[in-house]
A and B are shown apart, each in its own frame.
Chain A
Amino acid sequence: MALPDRLRIAPVRIVHILLAHEIRGLLASKALWAMLLALAPLVGYGFVQAVALFAEASRSAIEFPELARGMTPLDGVLVPTLGAFYLAVTLLFPFVAIRAVGQDKQSGAAKLVEQFPVGAVTLLVVKMLAVGAAWCLASVPAISAIGIWALIGGHLYTPELFNLLLGHALYAFAITGIAFFAAAIADSVSTAAIVALAFTLGFWVLDFAAGSVQSSWLQALSQMSLTAALRQFEHGLFSLPHALEAASIGATLIAAAGVWLPGGRTPPRKIGLTVGLATLLAALLAAAGQAGVYRDVSEDRRNSFTPADEAALAHMDKELSITVYLSPDDSRYKDMEANVLGKLRRQVPKLAIRFGEAGRVGLYGSSGDDRYGLVVYEYAGKREQSRSSAPREILPILHGLAGVESAPAEMPVYPGYPLVADAGAWGSWFYLGLPILILLFWWRCRRPARTNFNQEEI
């Protein structure tokens, strides 16, 4: 049993060997296949229903161009179809990602892995790549739904579609970071799952609270939630701040998992490094918020004012203060946020939006406060107010406050893409075909494997 000469293994080769090992481990796990089996009918149902509703709305829209302009496949089909995928990534994907780290801890393999000729960071990057491969596999039902949409004559706008997929990929990356960190700090896989779900469901609670409570800091905090980040991409907006935010959360939490996984560190050292990483994350999030790069990739340019308006707003070099006397859950505020405030945040260099103190409108009538519904605009010592939530009325007010003229410009009209189609027949693909294929692949992956060398030679 003398030690023979060994080959020198290049680091890239080691990564390749470990990646193959991790992918095999994921393919052998029940969690991945159970998620895929749940995803196929979920995505399929979402897609078939979305196409049916889109077709219903398209019937009258086909005859009226004004109505047709509201028929966007992004809102009508793609986002609802990927909504089921989003649910699965939020609630089921953490179990797959946790397994990649937690299973090694639970089985004791982590003590062997720690002695591999690579660092903890490389090991985690390899695990992250393997989980990325699992995410690609999980996206097959959604990708096939998009293919079917194109096949039945549905319209796809490539920048919009890729931006949407990028948003989902970044969301999954951040969820992976959360899952890895949970698995690294928890003693068991089940505890890690609870920790990860507490994180992801916490984002929902944050969004809900921000939507119903008049609190500026809660509004600001909710802007950092992962669901809020994904929403930007679902609206056809490439937002660098949100992309950087999701990437920072994912990368920092993966690094934090790397701090907690090796057994050779003392708890005070682990806590110290984690505090350092938390500080770094706070700095990264603050920096991401200042990135200020946005691209409206929607085909209907819903996230943009006209170029002339945008140029005029970009020149407002003093602080524009907007006080809104509306409840955050008032539909007028939601309209205003989507049509005006969100765009202003991206265009006006110095903008402060706050909620004014006013009684809320009750379920059956007014609160009696006359200011409710009012929006006050202040700029360079001048003040204007309005009750409108429409850009065509608000923009002239802002230009007036800034003392600039904005010449109206002709913009190409978005035609809309109504489609009366039936995707019901494709239901069998999602409810039967895909599940059978998934089961076949599962069976293939769990089949006893052949040895890699001739046993007779031993």
Chain B
Amino acid sequence: MTDRTTLLTVRRLAKRYGDAEVLAEVDFDLRPGEILGIIGPNGAGKTTLMECLAGLLPADSGEVRVRGEPLPPARRREAMFYLPDGIAPWSDQAVWRVTGLFRKLHGFDPAREAVVVGRLELSPVLGKRVAELSKGYRRRLLLALALLTPQPILILDEPFDGFDLRQTLHVMDLLREVARERALILSIHQLKDAERICDRLLLLNAGRRLGFGTLADLAAQAGAAHADLEEVFLGLT
């Protein structure tokens, strides 16, 4: 069922690699302004789900609707932007060239770029080449690129990877601000981080949906009403 408050509806999304089932008819939805966390053990299918969702990987079956309208893979970039984990794009170019590319391509003015750069504290490294950045700065640059896109749905794979606790909390504050205008889907392997920032959670294991809802919903499903996410995770997986 799709109601008027649903921004994204995913139904029976499935993907196989040969005999291996990577996604088994996964269902979920996303509301405007919501932060949805995808959690699960390594190999659960989190990245595959996000890449199929973004249209970067062909799904075997399933349907994706945005505001109730079916959206084929070739048009997904109109509604969502996916930021992969572990990439090092344009390593020979200066940081400001890369942020400038995204700003210009998406029609933002320089003031927007300056705000994003300022909030992510990238100013000291703007003149450096991407290859010279530390892991933390590279992660911040990638987040800056995501924030210089206009799509209403932002999909981030491991957005807190490479950050210390203080930086993680800072980025969480920033993402909560972003969520006022755009819905977020975050893949997070640190359950404490997921518990802190996500409104609802999608728990995957071996490509199957084990649970979907708020922490309270998942806890009830696990039969431990006041458990934290780690206990729920251990209970359900």
Instruction: Name the residue of chain B whose CB is nearest to the CB of A27.
Output: B92
**C-alpha spacing A451/B57, complex, angstroms:** 36
Knowing A2-B180, A21-B101 touch, does A7 contact B92 (C-beta < 8 A)? no
A381 CB–B CB distance under 8 Å: no
User: Which bracket fits the contact residues of B?
Assistant: 35 or more
Q: B105 contacts A17, CB within 8 Å? A: yes
Judged by a CB distance under 8 angstroms, whether A266 is at the interface is: yes
Residues of chain B from 88 to 141 with CB closer than 8 A to chain A in the complex: 88-94, 96-97, 100-101, 104-119, 123, 126-129
B54 at the interface (CB under 8 A from A): yes
A455 interface contact, C-beta 8 A: yes
Known A-B contacts A1-B119, A266-B58, A449-B127; the reply to A104 vs B89 at CB < 8 A is yes
A107: chain B residues at CB < 8 Å are: 87-91
Asked whether, in the complex, the Cβ of B145 is within 8 Å of the Cβ of A112, the reply is yes
Give the distance to chain A from B84, nearest Cβ to Cβ, in Å. Answer: 5
Known: A1-B174, A6-B150, A450-B127. A28 touches B92 (CB 8 A): yes
Q: Please indicate the chain A residues that have their CB under 8 angstroms from the CB of B230 in the complex.
A: none
| Residue from B57, B81, B92, B117 within 8 A of A263 (CB atoms) | B57
B58 and A453 contact, CB distance less than 8 A: no
Flag A1-37 by CB within 8 Å of B: 1 or 0 each.
Answer: 1111011110000100110010011001100000000
Contact with A along B160-184 (1 / 0, CB 8 A): 0000000000000010011011100
Rounded to whole angstroms, the CA-CA distance of A6 and B181 in the bound complex is: 14
**CB of B147 closer than 8 Å to a CB of A:** yes
With a cutoff of 8 Å between Cβ atoms, the chain A residues found around residue B87 in the complex are 107-109, 111-112
Whether B114 lies near A117 (C-beta < 8 A) is no
Q: Does A264 contact B (CB under 8 A)?
A: yes
Known A-B contacts A9-B107, A109-B89; the reply to A451 vs B56 at CB < 8 A is no
Q: Identify which of B77, B105, B145 gathers the most chain A CB atoms within 10 Å of its CB.
A: B105
B114–A1 CB distance below 8 A: no
In the complex the two chains form, is A1's CB within 8 Å of B178's CB? yes
Which B residues are CB-close (under 8 A) to A451? Answer: 96, 126-127
How many A residues face the partner with a CB closer than 8 A?
40
Contact status A3-B182, CB under 8 Å: yes
CA distance A265 to B74 in the complex (A): 9
The binding surface of chain A is classed by DSSP as loop
- CB pair A458 B105 closer than 8 Å: no
Distance to closest chain A CB from B62 (angstroms): 13
The answer to whether B93 and A112 have CB atoms under 8 Å apart is: no
Does A115 count as interface, using CB distance less than 8 angstroms?
A: yes
Instruction: Determine which of A2, A116, A457 lies in contact with B105 in the assembled complex, contact meaning CB atoms within 8 Å.
Output: A116
Residues of B near A112 (CB, < 8 A) are 83-84, 87, 89, 145
Given the known interface contacts A2-B180, A117-B77, the answer about A452 and B51 at a Cβ–Cβ threshold of 8 Å is: no
State the Cβ distance, B181 to closest chain A Cβ, in Å: 5
Question: Measured between alpha carbons, how far is A327 from B168 in the docked complex, in Å?
Answer: 77
Q: Within the assembled complex, what's the spacing in Å between the Cα atoms of A426 and B119?
A: 56
Chain B residues, Cβ within 8 Å of A8: 107
For the complex with contacts A9-B107, A107-B91, 16 further pairs of A-B residues with Cβ separation under 8 Å are A4-B109, A9-B104, A24-B97, A25-B92, A108-B86, A111-B51, A112-B87, A115-B56, A117-B77, A449-B96, A452-B96, A453-B96, A453-B110, A455-B117, A458-B115, A458-B123
B contact residues vs A (CB 8 Å cutoff): 51, 54-58, 73-74, 77, 81-84, 86-94, 96-97, 100-101, 104-119, 123, 126-129, 145, 147, 149-150, 174, 177-178, 180-182
Residues of A within 8 A of B (CB): 1-4, 6-9, 14, 17-18, 21, 24-25, 28-29, 104, 107-109, 111-112, 114-117, 263-266, 269, 448-453, 455, 457-458
Q: What are 21 residue pairs bridging A and B, where the CB atoms are less than 8 Å apart in the complex?
A: A1-B115, A2-B181, A3-B182, A8-B107, A17-B104, A18-B105, A21-B101, A24-B97, A104-B89, A109-B89, A117-B105, A117-B106, A263-B56, A264-B55, A264-B58, A450-B127, A451-B127, A452-B96, A452-B110, A453-B96, A455-B117
Closest 6 CB pairs of A and B: A108-B87, A109-B89, A458-B118, A28-B92, A6-B107, A7-B107
